[in-house]
Homo-oligomer: A and B are copies of this chain.
């Protein structure tokens, strides 16, 4: 009798794969909506984090928007060119740069938020209220347990 080994389980049953697949699909849908405003998902995240009006350092921001440090720097360069955000050197620690959202950024962020909400509603409809909140809960707890 063969040892019942986990090594042969199909890839579609691995948690890492299911997460990647679900993320890819949901992200693709969101991307599609946001493309109406010509903005990549990551820029929406940045605007949303900055829309509390406070200054956020690059390091803080990189964590929050799930981007590597150098990637964020270059994306921020573009957003500064588009006058969506601006840099201010942190007076308390001059190694740091504080990012702020501009008025133009705020206007854009509002539009993007409503596109993103559209998507969430669409998911709620096809996937169900209960499943959605349960899934969110489980994801949060997975993230917590991974730190």
Instruction: Choose among B45, B114, B116, B131 the residue that contacts A142 (Cβ–Cβ < 8 A).
Output: B131
A136 near B: Cβ within 8 Å? Answer: yes
Q: Are B120 and A7 in contact, CB atoms less than 8 angstroms apart?
A: no
Q: Chain A: interface residue count, which band? A: 35 or more
Tell me the minimal C-beta distance from A129 to chain B in angstroms.
12
Q: Are B142 and A14 in contact, CB atoms less than 8 angstroms apart?
A: no
Contact flags A28-49 to B (C-beta < 8 A → 1, else 0): 0110000000000100010011
- A127–B27 alpha-carbon span in the complex (Å): 25
Q: How many copies does the complex hold?
A: 2
CB nearest to A13 among chain B residues:
B136
Given A14-B116, A120-B15, A145-B127: A66 touches B138 (CB 8 Å cut-off): no
A residues at B contact (CB < 8 Å): 6-8, 10-11, 13-27, 29-30, 41, 45, 48-49, 64, 66, 110, 113-114, 116-117, 119-120, 123, 126-127, 131-132, 134-136, 138-143, 145-146
